[in-house]
Amino acid sequence: MIPDITIDPVLVERLIVDMAQFGAVGTTGVWRTVYSPEWSAAMDCYAAWCVEAGLVVHRDAVGNVWGRLPGREPGGSIVSGSHIDSQRPGGRYDGALGALAALVALRALREHYGPPRRTLECLAFCEEEGSRFPATNFWGSRAITGRIATHEADALRDYDGVTMAEAMRAVGLDPARIGDAARDDIAAFIELHIEQGPILEHRQVPVGIVTGITGLRHYVVTVRGAANHAGAFPMDLRRDPMAGAAEIIAGVISHAAQLGRPAVTTVGRISAEPNYPAIIPGSVTFTIDARHPDAMALAALYDHHETLMRDVAARRGLDITWHTTIDLPPSPADPAIVAALTDAAHALGVPTISLHSGAGHDSQVMASRAPMAMIFVQSRDGRSHTPEEFTSVEHAVAGIRVLAAGLYQLAYQ
């Protein structure tokens, strides 16, 4: 039997609003980057709420916060959570809602049913967005899965030149102990998240059960030519990296558009050197974010983009280099957990659809160590990574009800 566990909407709304005060920007925005003072205050608050919920709190070597509801029997933990950091600025819901949902679900389960058979844990990941350190994402989940190299903390620098190691030390963490955060005792991981797209809203359903997460690759591309005067140097003699970058950018974006859904390609950041209106730049650097949930289609997308970059550079007499900062394969959700969540939603009368995630998530990293699944809740207008993102309390509660019922099946039955 799947129970309908009562989730208090007043509590859910209060936690969302109170968490959003840490790093608040304007009316609804949040600017909360990893290891910042705002981040530290948010993590302290999450830990205090875990204690209030009757959970045992633990902070690991990179600052992830865990709330533990010990089980009666030995075995791996059933874990749910999401990240607590934001974009610059982001909104109240991306990441934070999933961390709070896990906390609320465990609190309700403990109050209704007492200790579980298998240990339950809620989790606030320290970092996922890559909004402070541009060369990385998923710092929290990569630490848990043992995927942070020993040199990374000293090599990574934020936009102000501060290394990850320095940022960790500033909040009392020892970068030499990053390896201590690794876990090999997680039996399942479930993440609730706002959809970050318009599909649920278009289908007029509050909750989605995620069948898999898209594969993605982030490129940092640099095109080099020759800097010259913008007026005196003839067009036919130029080695103009901006013209080459513009052709590449237009080409990769239009190719993904021609392929149609679910292929996507985005160029989100560009810089020129020198960056002046009357100078042909000597070099242009930009990012490419390419994604597809099908492994073969994803490989073809990468191949097309890379061939185009080489061809444009060769034809225009430019030098081109690139490196990848993120390279994640498509990650299917665990069928058994998906079935449990789907059954829970049906039993509770919560309308759902199945869909894939076009965004990368900590779940994708956690899948390397444990079976995983995700729950999406509707995001108004599909907005995310912006202060305008919004999920109603009604839809958040519907998602948490499904999460709590799924956790009950995994940890109590």
pLDDT in tens, 107-127: 999 999 999 999 999 999 999
Structural element, H or E, at residue 10: helix 9-19
Q: Please check whether residue 56 is in contact with residue 71, taking contact to mean a CB–CB distance below 8 angstroms.
A: no
Query: pLDDT (tens digit, 9 = 90+) per residue, 51-83?
Result: 999 999 999 999 999 999 999 999 999 999 999
How sure is the predictor about 1, in pLDDT bands with cuts at 50, 70 and 90? confident
Mean pLDDT of 309-329: 95
Mean pLDDT of 199-217: 96
Q: Bridge partners of 354?
A: 209
Answer with the one of 293, 328, 363 that is the final residue of a domain: 328
Give the domain CATH number at 282: 3.30.70.360
Same domain, 195 and 243: no
Same domain, 334 and 190: yes
Strands 56-59 and 65-69: antiparallel
pLDDT at 135: 66
**Domain encompassing residue 153:** 9-213+330-411
Contacts of 337 (CB under 8 A, 6+ apart): 188, 190, 371, 372, 373, 406, 410
Query: pLDDT (tens digit, 9 = 90+) per residue, 259-283?
Result: 999 999 999 999 999 999 999 999 9
- Which candidate, 95, 77, 78, places its Cα nearest to that of 86? 95
1 part of a folded domain = no
Same domain, 385 and 317: no
Cα 102 to Cα 84: distance, rounded to the nearest angstrom: 12
Same domain, 367 and 311: no
Share of the chain above pLDDT 90, in %: 95
Answer with the one of 328, 358, 376 that is the final residue of a domain: 328
Answer with the one of 308, 328, 348 that is the final residue of a domain: 328
Domains of the chain: total:
2
pLDDT at 360: 85
For the chain, counts of helices (H) and of strands (E): 12, 18
Query: pLDDT (tens digit, 9 = 90+) per residue, 165-187?
Result: 999 999 999 999 999 999 999 99
Same domain, 304 and 344: no
Cα 45 to Cα 340: distance, rounded to the nearest angstrom: 31
2 part of a folded domain = no
Cα 123 to Cα 49: distance, rounded to the nearest angstrom: 12
